[in-house]
Amino acid sequence: MAPWVRRGMRSVGAGLAAIGLALTNVPLLVLSIVALVLVPVPFLGMALVPWTTILVRMRTDLERRIAGRAGVPVVRPYHPPPDRSVPGGWRRFRWVVTDPATWRDLAWLVPGALVGIILGVITLAVPLYGLAGLTLTPVWIWLGTGWYGYGTAWSVDSVGEALLCVPQGAAILAAGLWSAPWLRRVDALFDRLLLAPTRAADLRLRVTQLTVTRADTVDAQAAELRRIERDLHDGVQARLVSLGMMIGLADELIDRNPAAAHELLAEARESSGTALVELRHLVRGIHPPVLAERGLEGAVRALALSLPVPITVDADLSGRLDTPVESAAYFAVAETLTNVVRHSRARHAWVSLRHVEERLTMVVTDDGAGGADSAAGTGLRGIERRLAAFDGTMALSSPPGGPTVVTMELPCALSSPRTTPSFATD
Amino acid sequence: MRVVIAEDHALLRDGLTRILQAFDFDVVASVDSGPALLPALVTHRPEVAVVDVRLPPTFTDEGLQAAIAARNRIPGLPILVLSQHVEPLYARELLSTPRGGVGYLLKDRVSNVGEFIDAVRRVAAGGSAMDPEVITQLLARREPLAALTVREREVLGEMAEGRSNAAIGTKLRITEKAVSKHINNILTKLDMPPSDDHNRRVLAVLAYLNA
């Protein structure tokens, strides 16, 4: 079956569902009006409105989901519920009635139902008429009910005219199926007029989101600094102290016991080498030098070479990203690859980096055991937070048995490409 | 001389042990965490303990807390605290514990093995060993010190670190007699009671600086 046919049939089904759902709008509106009228009644009134609002929101949320499936994403516009609110309480009542989205929902119920029913009927009727032309009409005419007409022929009298119904029916059916998704889309666009957040609500949602991601970012940064302090304290600093001890002891022993002093100095030299290695690791963890020198693509390629699992890097970035974005993107990929190495038991992994239409898309795939869960580990959650600071997103697909696909997206611009590496400035 | 070491970093624990053993100390126990320190001190009753400030399990100031607890439990137990950074605040907390030798040094100082051993012995003998860094920070914030001459301030600093009059004299290339004259002047100018016991005098100076 051709994809457009399948899409069309699905949309016809959705049209039928839309008619059914539209019919529920009327009782919802009646309930809401009753609840609003009863507000002056002590105790009862204030409790009823939040309840009916919950029902209305269940309905509008469903409508938003349906619109999203038709290709028109509609964001939930509601204020977050107040803290310490009890059912039937003043806070909850105020929360509901001061939210403009509550009133916009109510305003949508009747026009939404009308548009839903009209478009639903069209979605349904056209393909059905086509189907009728294709099957029933010729049969009826053949049976001798000469009064019946179809398409261009009214009424159908001859066998030739009867046969003409078939191609006409097929064309109408095709047109109905082809147009059904578009009709669904029109319905969804109408829903969006009233069910999507207003500009003010949009900004409020954005502020909420920014507050959360900012707090996450600050947390992550503080944790990162603590980690660096710990690493320095337990690593390089301790090693330098021990180095000093060895040299000091060797200095004391050099006359009394030259052999022991030599041994200590050899140990000291080794220890200074280890200190440097540790320092390099730490620096790489803060900001890898290769990232500064070669950008995201080069750094990911360098990282891929250093990991024990073979990794194919497929990248096509024609310029550099802004430094903070570049760093976030790099660590997101690095963290994902660390997860691959640690948990997936993969034999191969693939990284793809693409920048299309002001979006950087990074996909990490592995052929490992699958079953990764972003709720379980802190690693994937950390990546999500890193990306969220730049309005980026992460999607995880990891069925048991694999493969695991992590798709990360970051909205960002590429700076002008550097044609050749310049030795004068590097 | 019997000594207990508390240090979580294996390299440093090993280095400290080797240095102390090279100078005929008897390392009776070396522990790697805060909770293990107190029992070790109570069991072995060492003549001196060398303790790292940051120890597991919390990796905060576990060692310092254990040292203070131990000094409250075993009055007069000499403890030398080592750290990778020094805070006058920690010095004050150490000095406010019951009397007895006390020291607080940067770990860097261990590399000057002779002086480090000297400091351990001084603390074991009931004296003190304060890191020059701590003393510098303490001296920097005391107003009345302006009344002291440059030489007197030098003597005060050396004294606060815990050195004997003889050692101060050698370091500053003056006679021991000149040193005690300076010290008397300092005590007078700072309005502190004169004392014959050197250790008590040093602790008094530290207490004054720490107040």
Tell me: do B154 and B174 sit in the same domain: yes
Confidence band for A151, pLDDT divided at 50, 70 and 90:
low
Q: pLDDT tens digits, residue range A97-107?
A: 888 889 999 99
Point out the domain boundary residue: B131, B156, B176: B131
Q: pLDDT tens digits, residue range A304-335?
A: 888 888 999 999 888 888 888 999 999 999 99
Asked if the C-beta of B110 comes within 8 angstroms of chain A's C-beta atoms, the answer is: yes
Interface test with A, best of B20, B107, B120 (most A CBs within 10 A): B107
Calculated CA dihedral for residues B122, B125, B126, B132, nearest 10 degrees: 0
Tell me: do B86 and B28 sit in the same domain: yes
The long-range contacts involving A377-385, CB below 8 angstroms and separated by at least 24 positions, are A377/A339, A377/A343, A379/A335, A379/A338, A379/A339, A380/A336, A380/A339, A380/A406, A382/A220, A382/A335, A383/A332, A383/A335, A383/A336, A383/A408, A385/A213, A385/A216, A385/A217, A385/A220
Residue A246 is predicted with a pLDDT of: 92
For A233, which residue in chain B has the nearest alpha carbon? B84
Confidence band for A258, pLDDT divided at 50, 70 and 90:
very high
For A235, which residue in chain B has the nearest alpha carbon? B9
ipTM of the complex as predicted? 0.78
Tell me: do B114 and B22 sit in the same domain: yes
**CATH no. for A292-411:** 3.30.565.10
Nearest beta carbon to residue A238 from set B11, B113, B116: B11
Domain ranges of chain A: 3-195, 201-286, 292-411
Q: pLDDT tens digits, residue range A5-30?
A: 888 888 999 999 999 999 999 999 99
Helix residue ranges per DSSP H, A233-322: 238-256, 258-286, 289-306
Tell me: do B155 and B96 sit in the same domain: no
CB < 8 Å to A272, chain B? none
Tell me: do B35 and B117 sit in the same domain: yes
Confidence band for A419, pLDDT divided at 50, 70 and 90:
very low
Whether B137 is in a domain gets the answer: no
Contact B107 A241 (CB under 8 A): yes
Look at residue A187 and tell me whether its pLDDT is greater than 50.
yes
Confidence (pTM): 0.65
- CA count, 13 A, side-chain hemisphere, B20: 23
Nearest beta carbon to residue A248 from set B14, B59, B113: B113
Whether B176 is in a domain gets the answer: yes
Domain span at B9: 2-131
Whether B76 is in a domain gets the answer: yes
Q: Residue range B21-31: average pLDDT?
A: 94
Tell me: do B33 and B110 sit in the same domain: yes
Residue A417 is predicted with a pLDDT of: 57
Residue A142 is predicted with a pLDDT of: 63
Whether B158 is in a domain gets the answer: yes
Beta bridge partners of A316: A354
Residue A162 is predicted with a pLDDT of: 67
Q: Residue range B154-176: average pLDDT?
A: 90
Tell me: do B153 and B122 sit in the same domain: no
Is the model more confident about A284 or about B207? A284
CB < 8 Å to B15, chain A? 241-242, 245-246, 249
φ, ψ at B103 (rounded to 5°): -140, 155
Helix residue ranges per DSSP H, chain B: 10-22, 34-44, 62-73, 88-95, 113-124, 132-140, 150-161, 165-172, 176-189, 198-210
Contact A245 B22 (CB under 8 A): no
User: Where residue B201 sits, what CATH number does that domain have?
Assistant: 1.10.10.10
d(CA A249, CA B112): 8
d(CA B101, CA B19): 21
Tell me: do B203 and B150 sit in the same domain: yes
Residue B7 is predicted with a pLDDT of: 93
Residue A324: alpha-carbon gap to chain centroid: 21
Smallest CA-to-CA distance from A353 within A275, A300, A310, A281 is with: A300
Confidence band for A159, pLDDT divided at 50, 70 and 90:
low
Tell me: do B103 and B159 sit in the same domain: no
Strand order in the sheet with B2-6: B26-31, B2-6, B48-52, B79-83, B102-106, B128-130
Q: pLDDT tens digits, residue range A217-238?
A: 888 888 889 989 888 988 899 9
A159 within 8 A of A138, measured Cβ to Cβ: no
Contact A242 B54 (CB under 8 A): no
Point out the domain boundary residue: B131, B158, B175: B131
CB < 8 Å to A271, chain B? 11
Point out the domain boundary residue: B99, B131, B163: B131
Whether B136 is in a domain gets the answer: no
Tell me: do B119 and B147 sit in the same domain: no
d(CA B69, CA B93): 11
Look at residue A409 and tell me whether its pLDDT is greater than 70.
yes
Contacts of A290 (CB under 8 A, 6+ apart): A298, A299, A302
**Closest CA of chain A from B9, distance in Å:** 7
User: Where residue B57 sits, what CATH number does that domain have?
Assistant: 3.40.50.2300
Calculated CA dihedral for residues A57, A59, A61, A65, nearest 10 degrees: 180
In chain B, the number of structural domains is: 2
